[in-house]
Amino acid sequence: MLGALTAALAVLVSAIGVLLGLRALGADDPRGTAPPEAVPFLGGYAPETHAWSRFHLRYYPLTLLFIAFEMEMMFMYPWAVVYVQEGVTALAEMGMFLAILSLGVLYAWREKVLEWQ
């Protein structure tokens, strides 16, 4: 109950602190927002099309591959804890695991996941 009150107070104080800090940095300064000052710099002319345009996220397959191998890393964490006491068998077992998963990397390489051009 008291904890909740303190938490709410903390949130309020930090919110006020953030707003004051932004104000000190000049976030509410209207200088530079007039239309001729706000035009993006293209070398001398104003842009004719709007800047909201979509472009290709070419690294998307690579991020999926990354997440898949991140899960492989998750398996390696508990293995690392017992690796020293288990010895060579642990090494061999993890080696087999990694070898099977590296076939996935080879497949991705052939499928041009790693090339964005």
Q: Is 27 in the site for another protein (CB under 8 A)?
A: no
Of 64 and 76, CB closest to another protein = 64
Of the candidate spans 14-22, 37-45, 79-87, 90-98, the one that interacts with another protein by CB under 8 A turns out to be: 37-45
Q: Is 46 in the site for another protein (CB under 8 A)?
A: yes
Q: Is 45 in the site for another protein (CB under 8 A)?
A: yes
Angstrom distance (rounded) from CA 108 to CA 47: 40
Of 49 and 89, CB closest to another protein = 49
> What Å distances lie between residue 23 and 27, 37, 71, CA to CA?
5, 21, 44
Q: Is 32 in the site for another protein (CB under 8 A)?
A: yes
Q: Is 39 in the site for another protein (CB under 8 A)?
A: yes
Angstrom distance (rounded) from CA 105 to CA 111: 10
Q: Is 62 in the site for another protein (CB under 8 A)?
A: no
Q: Please name which of 61, 60, 95 lies closest in space to residue 76, comparing C-alpha atoms.
A: 95
**Any alpha helices (H) in the chain, and if so which ranges?**
2-25, 35-38, 60-86, 88-110
Residue type, 13: V
- Give contact residues for another protein (rule: CB under 8 A): 31-32, 34-37, 39, 41-56, 58, 117
